[in-house]
Each structure stands twice: as C-alpha cells, then as structure tokens.
Structure 1
Amino acid sequence: MNFKDKFSKEEKRVNTDDPTMSDLLSTYLQEWLPPSKDIVIACIGTDRSTGDSFGPLVGSMLHDHALETFHIYGTLEKPLHALNLKERLAEIRKNHPNPYILAIDACLGKSSSVGSVVLGKGSLNPGSALKKDLPPVGQLHISGMVNVSGFMEHVVLQNTRLHVVMQMAAKVAAAIQLTEAKRKQVHMETKPFHTFTTSSTNFKKSIQ
C-alpha cells in the first residue's frame, strides 16, 4: 500500500467509472512498455486487508490466463507483501536477469482521487502509506486509489469496500490482457520479417 497526494507529468490517470478505462490504460501501457522485453508484473498487497487486496486480485485474474509476454508474481494464493517482498524480489531477479518490472499496488490519497488508477514512470514505494520501510519496486507502476489517507490508515484499509477494489482490479487486469494481445500482434508482425531476412542470409551463404 503506497501513498500519493500529488500527480506529475510522468503519469497517466484514468477513472474506474470511465467505460473506456481499460482501453485507455492499455494504450498507455503499450506506449510505455518496452516492446522487445518480457515484462515482470509484481502485484503487491495482501488478501488479509480489503483495501490492500487490489494487487493480489489483479495478479490472480491475470494468472488464470496464459500470458506470453508477461510474468505474474503476487496472487491471492501467493501474495507479494511486506513480510516476503525482499525475498520475492531476489527470486524475480534470479529468474529474470535485469528484469523490467511493472509494479501494481493499492494506494491511499485525496478523497477526490478515490476510484482513479494511475500509471506512472519509475518505481513505487510499497508500504509508504503505513510508514513501512520497504524497497522501491518497478521501472513502471500502476497505483489503484482505493481510499483516503490521513487518519488511521489500517482501519481505512480494513473498511474499504470490496466492490470498489474488485471493479478496479478487473478493469486493470482487462487492460493488461488487451496490452498482451497488442504486444503479441507486434511480435507476429516483426518475427516473419526477421525469419525471412535470416533465411535469405543463409541462402546467400550457401551459394557462395
């Protein structure tokens, strides 16, 4: 659970109530994610808190689909949270040398921002809303604004409506699935050309 009270030019903001939210978020992801790299998605949070379950919910929704260009860490069954974050990040780096990480986490902020999803460049600081000292995560991040900050954050998280978190998680997961389809299409369009040029080079060598 991180904290956000200001927005920058290095961020894209969409609202859960917008019927085009998943399409918009997918467009932004497609623009900002490196096309030629597999992406690790680190879904941070815990199923023990309604408000902080946003990340694991997204992870579980994505885990049910066969994604080819994304690797998912953090689900309701195997959450990625404060107690195991350092260990799991070491595991990610072992499995994916020099990984490009998209971090997903719930966020507390101003009341006017609740229901918004923010895509930002750079890392996020999980646990900052609860004053926890955890390592920053990600080259890119998605923050889901689930509730307001400022007073008794633990209680606020426990009393966040599950409907709000579920709706937000479903739309973010849908956006990532749309992005997966776009990335696969790009790979299909570029791979035949690569295969053709490689075959042509081999043919030229064989007749020399």
Structure 2
Amino acid sequence: MTTHEDKFKGVTIGVYKEDGDRLIKDMKKHIKGEVVFFCVGTDRSTGDSFAPYVGSMLEEKGYKNVIGTIDDPAHAINLEERMKQIPEGVTVVAIDASLGKQNSVGSLQLISGALYAGAGVGKDLPPVGDYQIQGIVNVNSGSKGMNQLVLQATRFKVVMHLAKQLVAAIEEVYPIHNETINNAYITAVK
C-alpha cells in the first residue's frame, strides 16, 4: 500500500475510474518491451490484497511474468529478496494498493517511476519498478497509523472490482498467444 507525497518522484500518466479503454491506450503508449508484473501486498489485509490478487489472476490465466501472488506474496518482509528475482533488461510494472481521496476510490492510476511500497503506513522500503499501477482501494486517513486500519477495513468488493479491471486491461495489452504461452515474458501488442 502506498501514498507518495513525501517520496514519489514519478509522473502520473492517468487516473482511470471505469475507463478501461483509456488505461489500455496509455499502457500501450508508455510501457514498452518485455514486462514483468511485480505485485506487492499481502492477503493479511483486505485492502493490501489487491496486487497479490492481480498476480494470482494473471498466473491462473497463464502469465509467467508475475512476481507476487496470494500464495507467494511480495511484501514488506521479503521485498528485497523478491526483487532479486527480477530478470535483467525487462520493464518492471509494480502493482500495489493505494489510499486516496474519497472521489478516487475505485480508480486505477498509471504512473511512471518506481513504487515506494508501504510509504503510506510508514514503512521505508526500497523502490521497485519502472512504472506502477495503483488500485485506490480506500480513503487516505491522513495518519499513517490509521491507514493500516483503513486498509484492513477495506471492502473486498472494491479490491475484486479493481483487480478484474486491471487484469482485463493487461490481457488486452499483453495477450497470451499459443506460441508465447510458454515464454517467460510477454510484450505489448502494437
């Protein structure tokens, strides 16, 4: 889970609420080359399960270029170790849950630049990724201590909806074809 007021150095490409076509267009335009999806979070907190749920859904569909699932999460305790699994020369799309303003809950954000996972709950973790996609799962309380409680009180319905939207966009931008299903990495279609 992230908020990025203090650390964030990237640029927001777009915020998408029920606008999958625009997200797909922006992903195709900005995220190039072989891609690895690095899904940060844990199923121990409903809101923070967004990215591992995305990772699990992608794996179930046959994607091999995923780090972080419900069964094998990438989280605060093992983040640095999991980052060592990222192959050289790939574009890393870090996926994480985020807290935001009331009117942005239920939105996806595409951002260029590294993800600082855990920043919203006071964790100081290493940055990961070339791009990040955040699912805004609930409202930022303004207090790092309260944000942990907000994440735990997040409705799973919101998490599921955002995960399904993101997976559908990824499938459109990075389709698995019969000849590529066994390849480790998927590249964007033009």
TM-score, length of structure 1 as denominator length: 0.78
Q: What's the CA shift for 1:113?
A: 1.6
Q: What's the CA shift for 1:122?
A: 0.7
* Aligned counterpart, 1:29: 27
Matches within 5 A, 1:1-208: 1-4=1-4, 10-15=12-17, 18=18, 21-34=19-32, 37-67=33-63, 71-92=65-86, 96-149=87-140, 150-151=142-143, 152-181=146-175, 183=187, 185-186=189-190
Supply the distance in 2 between the matched residues of 1:46 and 1:130 (Cα, whole angstroms): 14
Larger Rg: 1
* Alignment-mate amino acid for residue 41 of structure 2: G
Supply the distance in 2 between the matched residues of 1:9 and 1:139 (Cα, whole angstroms): 11
Q: What's the CA shift for 1:184?
A: 6.3
Structure 1 moving runs of 4+ over 3 Å: 182-186
* Alignment-mate amino acid for residue 108 of structure 1: L
Q: List alignment gaps of at least 5 residues for structure 2.
A: 177-186
In the comparison of the two structures, how many residue pairs are matched? 174
Q: What's the CA shift for 1:23?
A: 2.4
TM-score, length of structure 2 as denominator length: 0.85
Supply the distance in 2 between the matched residues of 1:56 and 1:103 (Cα, whole angstroms): 11
Q: What's the CA shift for 1:38?
A: 1.4
* Alignment-mate amino acid for residue 56 of structure 2: S
Supply the distance in 1 between the matched residues of 2:67 and 2:3 (Cα, whole angstroms): 22
CA RMSD after TM alignment: 2.0
